[in-house]
């Protein structure tokens, strides 16, 4: 059936009808009081989500553009930086740092496991000249959420900046920018913030500004110094994606009306239900409970069955899209996002579809067993 589809990938994520409607607002100029008021509203609301008093910039680009903004503004050629890599998005920090001529220390953690803060501490102690530490809040490629609080405490004791990729996490997983000493937090619109792709959002601490102001890498569109000048009048340096700004204001309202604590609790509940269901079906989860992402659940395909074959059945027969594995995880895992505009019944759709798809590909499971486990989590009843 046309349009009866269930998008369960880690971005772009489904956009709530109210946000879609908001984005049909007739176009208006970006050098107007109307835009400035909107911009101020958005920044004020984002500061609540980021738990920060720092300046926040809304950039017209995808999440990677936001990551490049962080690198281009803090890394001068030859600077020593530390990247904490446990998946594809950690690798992106390394690629960006190399593109900007950094002297790179790359610390790898096994895919599916979190960053070990003690190792960060050791590397910083051995290399007191590290200028920036690049971390990932939620490693979407594996479904691991890292302990930014602990990393932040360690980095704060050094002259280094902590830059965090919060692209898939912010809005679904709590992050306390000021309390946890995150100097730059960058995120994207099309994940937990419930918007189409096209915006990146970034907070910048006073400690980061010291570095940014002295940075020597070429940049123009992504220049934060210029962006700060414009932000002073609630303008943007270049033409912003006006319709996405309007949508963002509405999606932030939705989050604040639900209450951020409730938003974060909802994502954890969806995670717990999804994981309980996967376990009940006898499948292996990619991550341990202690680092499992509240916004995405990664599942290993059963031995001898291609994850992408399962995904194909889900799409073709049931209109459900899961994400596949990336790089070395291709065809080995599938990933179910419960990110942003997602609630209980979405998990039940995912699990009941998965049960049928597993049966189709020749891995029979007890139909309904996963659904039951998820239902028990939602009802708060014992197994």
Is 266 annotated in a binding site? The answer is no
- Distance between CA atoms of residues 245 and 230, nearest Å: 16
By CB under 8 A, residue 13 contacts a second copy: yes
Nearest approach, Cβ of residue 242 and a second copy (Å): 6
- Distance between CA atoms of residues 313 and 297, nearest Å: 19
By CB under 8 A, residue 219 contacts a second copy: yes
By CB under 8 A, residue 9 contacts a second copy: yes
Nearest approach, Cβ of residue 217 and a second copy (Å): 6
Q: Are 349 and 357 in contact (CB under 8 A)?
A: no
**Binding to a second copy in span 222-241, by CB under 8 A:** 222-223, 238-241
Nearest approach, Cβ of residue 226 and a second copy (Å): 10
Q: Are 57 and 227 in contact (CB under 8 A)?
A: yes
By CB under 8 A, residue 70 contacts a second copy: no
Nearest approach, Cβ of residue 220 and a second copy (Å): 5
Nearest approach, Cβ of residue 195 and a second copy (Å): 9
Nearest approach, Cβ of residue 66 and a second copy (Å): 9
Nearer to a second copy, 53 or 216 (CB): 216
Torsion angle defined by CA atoms of residues 141, 147, 149 and 153, in that order, rounded to the nearest 10 degrees? -110
Position among 38, 120, 244, 299 found at the interface with a second copy (CB under 8 A): 244
- Distance between CA atoms of residues 320 and 298, nearest Å: 16
**Binding to a second copy in span 82-141, by CB under 8 A:** 95-96, 99-101
Position among 220, 290, 303, 304 found at the interface with a second copy (CB under 8 A): 220
Q: Are 340 and 324 in contact (CB under 8 A)?
A: no
Q: Are 359 and 365 in contact (CB under 8 A)?
A: yes
By CB under 8 A, residue 65 contacts a second copy: yes
R_g of the chain, CA atoms, integer Å: 21
CA proximity to 135, closest of 157, 101, 166, 105: 166
- Distance between CA atoms of residues 231 and 209, nearest Å: 14
- Distance between CA atoms of residues 31 and 38, nearest Å: 11
Q: Apex CA 199: angle with CA 34 and CA 256, to 5°?
A: 70
Nearer to a second copy, 18 or 176 (CB): 18
Bind-site residues: 335
Binding site for a second copy (CB under 8 A): 3, 5, 7, 9, 11-15, 20, 23-24, 26-30, 32, 60-65, 68, 71-72, 95-96, 99-101, 188, 190, 196-198, 217-223, 238-244, 321
From the annotation, which residues make up the binding site for substrate? 335
């Amino acid at each position: 059936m046309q349009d009866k589809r269930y998008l369960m990938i880690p971005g772009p994520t489904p956009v709530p009808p109210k946000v879609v409607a908001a984005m049909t607002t007739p176009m208006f100029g970006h050098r107007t009081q109307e835009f400035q008021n909107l911009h101020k509203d958005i920044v004020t609301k984002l500061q609540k989500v980021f738990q920060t008093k720092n300046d926040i910039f809304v950039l017209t680009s995808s999440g990677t553009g936001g990551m490049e903004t962080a690198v281009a503004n803090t890394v001068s050629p030859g600077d020593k930086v530390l990247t904490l890599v446990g998946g594809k998005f950690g690798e992106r920090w390394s690629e960006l740092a190399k593109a900007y001529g950094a002297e790179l220390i790359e610390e790898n953690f096994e895919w599916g496991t979190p960053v070990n803060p003690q190792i960060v501490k050791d590397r910083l102690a051995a290399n007191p000249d590290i200028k920036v530490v690049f971390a990932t809040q939620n490693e979407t490629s594996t479904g691991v959420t890292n302990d930014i609080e602990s990393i932040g405490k360690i980095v704060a004791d050094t002259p280094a900046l902590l830059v965090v990729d919060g692209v898939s996490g912010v809005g679904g997983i709590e992050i306390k920018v000021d309390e946890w000493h995150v100097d730059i937090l960058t995120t994207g619109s099309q994940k937990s913030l419930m918007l189409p792709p096209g915006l990146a959002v970034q907070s910048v601490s006073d400690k980061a500004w010291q570095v940014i102001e002295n940075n020597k890498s070429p940049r123009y569109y992504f220049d934060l110094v210029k962006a700060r000048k414009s932000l002073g009048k609630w303008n943007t340096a270049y033409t912003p994606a006006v319709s996405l700004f309007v949508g963002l204001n509405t999606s932030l309202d939705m989050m604040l009306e639900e209450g951020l604590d409730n938003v974060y609790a909802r994502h954890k509940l969806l995670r717990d239900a999804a994981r309980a269901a996967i376990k009940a079906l006898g499948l292996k989860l990619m991550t341990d409970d202690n680092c499992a992402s509240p916004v995405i659940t990664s599942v290993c395909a059963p031995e001898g069955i291609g994850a992408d074959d399962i995904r194909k059945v889900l799409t073709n027969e049931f209109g459900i899209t899961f994400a596949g594995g990336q790089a070395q995880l291709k065809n080995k895992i599938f990933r179910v996002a419960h990110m942003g505009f997602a609630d209980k019944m979405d998990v039940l759709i995912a699990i009941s579809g998965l049960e049928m798809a597993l049966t189709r590909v020749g891995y029979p499971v007890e139909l309904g067993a996963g659904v039951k486990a998820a239902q028990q989590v939602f009802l708060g009843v014992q197994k």
